[in-house]
Amino acid sequence: MAPPKKGFKGFGEWDPTPLQKEVPAAPKEDSKPNPAPEKQQSPRGGSRRSSNSTTSKQQSLNPKPQFPKVERAQPPRVLTQGSGASRGPLRPPVPKQKYSNIVLEERPSTTLTAAQKVKRVKGIYWITGIGVYALSSYGVYLYIQYGKAVKLNEENEKQYRLGMKIKPEIDTNKVYENISGKYDSNVRWSEFFMGMPLLRRWMMLGLQGDVLEASAGTGRNNSYYPVRNCNSVTMVDSSPNMLKIAKDDFERRYPRYGHISFAPQDAGQPIKSPSGEGFDRVIQTMGLCSQKCPVETLRNLEQHCKPGGKILLLEHGRSHYEWLNNILDAYVLDHARNWGCFWNRDIGGLLEESGLVVTKISRFHLGTTWLIEASPRPRKQDRTAEPGSESK
């Protein structure tokens, strides 16, 4: 075995990497600058640099090592906001398309430009200004109407008291017969903006069993009927024309529902139920304002409601505020002539006088709209037949 060479310090310091095993180390170059190549005289006396042969000799004497090229993965290039290539908003790098026949659409940027921000602010200002203008105009209108209503009401009461003017008797049935064809189209938008469809739907949610709807009108509650929970539905109204419209609309909406009956009569008269034992739910919307005897109507509905049943009412009448009541009092006769409705009746006083057990009252529209839930008073049941039925 040959002895180790000079300067060998042991195998502990010798740990070549695979690259060092395969590629020899490059020789160190002298730190001294290479002398300039000698100039050779050309036959014509001119000077030129060394030829290519001299250069190749020097390269052979000092060969440069050749390392294998290793390609490194380049990180994705992201443009910053301050770079000159892009001054717009930052966007994530778009992934490369895997398939040439699929075109990827760029997602629109959610960042608003200065012009878009200004446009949005202007829109908010416009909407706010229109709202303030509408509210102020409506307030001025109410103030003017209030002044006129106070003077008109005082003059009417004076004439009624002195006998110079007699309160006219208005037959609401005739009014409804005349306006039945255009009633829905006239009240549709006013009810929509007042949120009446929501109140109607809310009232109709708990219907079940045998249902009686008094003062059904043109059937504006038909679209909210939970017919799957109703064993039968009975509708009554004093206007035959309006009840016919309600009948046609109900049959169009629920063609397979056969447990429905219609009776053109006043809600204060005896009403026959399918079972002969009364109704589980009794509802009425905007009916007390047009009844000749509203207290008697409420008592009649109570008699036709089963013990443990519910009476649901959606009515309109006097407000919380006296200034609004003055307006209702002044224009009540004109409103009754046009719509068959006395809109200034005290709904709370009518309920108290009728004797119903009121369990819940909710009021809307400055107190003029009443949503009422009541139940009949406890009574002794000597027989199961409803009032007005004949026992054999």
In a shared domain, residues 161 and 307: no
3-state secondary structure of 128: helix
Mean pLDDT computed over 104-111: 64
In a shared domain, residues 213 and 198: yes
Do 301 and 284 meet the contact criterion of CB atoms below 8 Å apart?
yes
In a shared domain, residues 354 and 205: yes
In a shared domain, residues 278 and 202: yes
DSSP state of 13: G
Partnered with residue 363 across adjacent β-strands are 370
Partnered with residue 281 across adjacent β-strands are 211, 310
3-state secondary structure of 379: coil
Instruction: Examine residue 129 and state whether it is found in any structural domain, yes or no.
Output: yes
CATH number for the domain that contains residue 189: 3.40.50.150
Phi-psi region of 217 (alpha: psi -120 to 50; beta: other; left: phi over 0): left
Instruction: Examine residue 335 and state whether it is found in any structural domain, yes or no.
Output: yes
- Report the chain's terminal Cα–Cα distance, integer Å: 137
3-state secondary structure of 17: coil
- Tell me the Cα Rg of the chain: 48
Separation between Cα atoms, residue 290 and residue 171, nearest integer Å: 9
3-state secondary structure of 64: coil
In a shared domain, residues 184 and 330: yes
pLDDT at 348 over 70: yes
Separation between Cα atoms, residue 218 and residue 238, nearest integer Å: 11
For the chain, how many structural domains are there in total? 2
Mean pLDDT computed over 141-168: 76
Tens of pLDDT, residue by residue over 285-337, are 999 999 999 999 999 999 999 999 999 999 999 999 998 998 898 888 889 98
Tens of pLDDT, residue by residue over 122-153, are 888 899 999 898 888 888 887 787 777 778 77
Instruction: Examine residue 331 and state whether it is found in any structural domain, yes or no.
Output: yes
In a shared domain, residues 147 and 163: yes
Per-residue confidence at 249, pLDDT binned at 50, 70, 90?
A: very high
Separation between Cα atoms, residue 123 and residue 115, nearest integer Å: 12
Q: Which residues of 112-130 are buried (b: 16+ CB within 10 A; e: fewer)?
A: eeeeeeeeeeeeeeeeeee
Mean pLDDT computed over 71-100: 56
What is the extent of the structural domain holding 156?
Answer: 120-167
Domain boundary among 106, 132, 167: 167
In a shared domain, residues 162 and 296: no
In a shared domain, residues 196 and 286: yes
SS3 per-residue string spanning 223-245:
HHCCHHHEEEEEEECCCHHHHHH
Separation between Cα atoms, residue 309 and residue 201, nearest integer Å: 19
Do 307 and 381 meet the contact criterion of CB atoms below 8 Å apart?
yes
In a shared domain, residues 223 and 151: no
Separation between Cα atoms, residue 362 and residue 373, nearest integer Å: 9
Instruction: Examine residue 198 and state whether it is found in any structural domain, yes or no.
Output: yes
In a shared domain, residues 296 and 349: yes
In a shared domain, residues 152 and 216: no
Side-chain half-sphere exposure of 187, counting CA atoms within 13 A: 17
Instruction: Examine residue 113 and state whether it is found in any structural domain, yes or no.
Output: no
pLDDT at 93 over 70: no
Instruction: Examine residue 54 and state whether it is found in any structural domain, yes or no.
Output: no
In a shared domain, residues 179 and 212: yes
Instruction: Examine residue 162 and state whether it is found in any structural domain, yes or no.
Output: yes
Separation between Cα atoms, residue 98 and residue 100, nearest integer Å: 7
Q: State the average pLDDT for the chain.
A: 79
Instruction: Examine residue 391 and state whether it is found in any structural domain, yes or no.
Output: no
State the DSSP string of 151-208. Answer: HHHHHHHHHHHHTSS-PPP--HHHHHHHHTTTHHHHHHHHHHHHTHHHHHHHHHTT--
> How many residues are there in the chain?
392
Domain boundary among 134, 167, 200: 167
pLDDT at 200 over 50: yes
